[in-house]
Amino acid sequence: MSDAAAPVRIDARGLKCPWPALRLARALRGGADAVEILADDPAAEREIAALARSQGLKIEHFCAEGADGFRIG
């Protein structure tokens, strides 16, 4: 992840897959170097991780605000 810029933050709580991954894809297409996404759909982790891997990005899991959090970059 780039330390120079603050990550784009996406709150995808309440959204069912594939929407969290689609929001992540949109942010990455928009030029985001780093993204933090909150998601509470159990399938989100798998889909977000697959998208990150397909883009050659690292993913880190964290817990925040009653949801799973993911840092991608």
From first to last of the 73 residues of the chain, give the pLDDT tens digit.
445 679 999 999 999 999 999 999 999 999 999 999 999 999 999 999 999 999 999 999 999 878 899 999 9
In a domain, residue 20? The reply is yes
Domain that holds residue 48: 8-72
Domain count, the chain: 1
In a domain, 3, yes or no: no
pLDDT at position 53 is 95
58: domain CATH number is 3.30.110.40
Domain membership flag for residue 2: no
Q: Is residue 53 part of a domain?
A: yes
Question: Considering the domain boundaries, does residue 14 fall inside one?
Answer: yes
How far CA 49 is from CA of 23, 45, 66, in Å, comes to 13, 6, 20
